[in-house]
Chains A and B, each alone.
Chain A
Amino acid sequence: MFKYVKHTNYPIEIKKKDLKMAKYLITQFGGANGELGAAMRYFSQKFSMPDDYGKALLNDIATEELGHSEMIASMVHQLTKNATVKELEEAGLGSMFADHGKGIYPTDASGVPFTVSYFAVTGDPLADLMEDMAAEQKARATYENLINLTDDEDVIRILLFLRQREIVHYNRFKDLFLYYKKKGY
Chain B
Amino acid sequence: MLFEDNDFDINMAFFIPDVNFNREVDILSPMEGFLRGNMFKDEYEPYKNLTYFKLKPSNEKEMELYKIMALSFAINDLNLYLDLHPDNKEVLDLFKKYVMEEEELCRKYVKKYGPLEVCEVTGNKFNWVDSPWPWDGFGGSMYV
Tell me, in angstroms, the Cα distance from A3 to B52 when the chains sit together.
Answer: 29
User: Closest chain A residue to B52 by CB distance?
Assistant: A160
Q: Known contacts A77-B135, A175-B84, A178-B13: does B55 contact A11 (CB below 8 Å)?
A: yes
Is chain A's binding surface mostly helix, strand, loop or mixed?
A: helix
CB of A175, distance to nearest CB on chain B (Å): 6
B14 adjacent to A167 (CB under 8 Å): no
A56 interface hit (Cβ, 8 Å): yes
CB of A163, distance to nearest CB on chain B (Å): 6
Chain B positions within 8 Å of A82 at CB level: 142
A147 adjacent to B13 (CB under 8 Å): no
B8 interface hit (Cβ, 8 Å): yes
CB of A85, distance to nearest CB on chain B (Å): 15
Q: Known contacts A7-B65, A167-B43: does B135 contact A73 (CB below 8 Å)?
A: yes
A86 interface hit (Cβ, 8 Å): no
Tell me, in angstroms, the Cα distance from A153 to B51 when the chains sit together.
Answer: 12
B47 adjacent to A144 (CB under 8 Å): yes
B47 adjacent to A181 (CB under 8 Å): no
| B119-144 interface code vs A (CB 8 A; 1 in, 0 out) | 00000000000000111011000100
B45 adjacent to A164 (CB under 8 Å): yes
The residue from B19, B80, B116 contacting A168, defined by CB atoms under 8 A apart: B80
A168 adjacent to B77 (CB under 8 Å): yes
Most buried by B among A5, A81, A181: A5
A11 adjacent to B47 (CB under 8 Å): no
Tell me, in angstroms, the Cα distance from A53 to B82 when the chains sit together.
Answer: 9
A182 adjacent to B80 (CB under 8 Å): no
CB of A144, distance to nearest CB on chain B (Å): 6
A5 adjacent to B80 (CB under 8 Å): no
Tell me, in angstroms, the Cα distance from A176 to B84 when the chains sit together.
Answer: 7
Chain A positions within 8 Å of B43 at CB level: 167-168, 171
Tell me, in angstroms, the Cα distance from A78 to B142 when the chains sit together.
Answer: 9
B135 adjacent to A163 (CB under 8 Å): no
| A88-110 interface code vs B (CB 8 A; 1 in, 0 out) | 00000000000000000000000
Chain A positions within 8 Å of B14 at CB level: 181-182
User: Closest chain A residue to B12 by CB distance?
Assistant: A178
Tell me, in angstroms, the Cα distance from A174 to B43 when the chains sit together.
Answer: 13
CB within 8 Å of A: which residues of B?
8, 13-14, 16, 18-19, 34, 36-38, 40, 43-45, 47, 50-53, 55, 62, 65-66, 68-69, 72-73, 76-77, 79-81, 83-84, 86, 115-118, 133-135, 137-138, 142
Known: A52-B86, A157-B53. 14 other contacts (CB 8 A): A5-B117, A7-B69, A8-B69, A10-B69, A60-B79, A70-B135, A77-B137, A81-B142, A161-B37, A164-B37, A165-B38, A167-B38, A168-B43, A177-B13
8 closest residue pairs by CB, A with B: A164-B37, A74-B135, A181-B13, A56-B83, A161-B37, A157-B53, A57-B83, A179-B19
CB within 8 Å of B: which residues of A?
3-15, 52-53, 56-57, 60-61, 64, 70, 73-74, 77-78, 81-82, 144, 147, 153, 156-157, 160-165, 167-169, 171-172, 174-179, 181-182
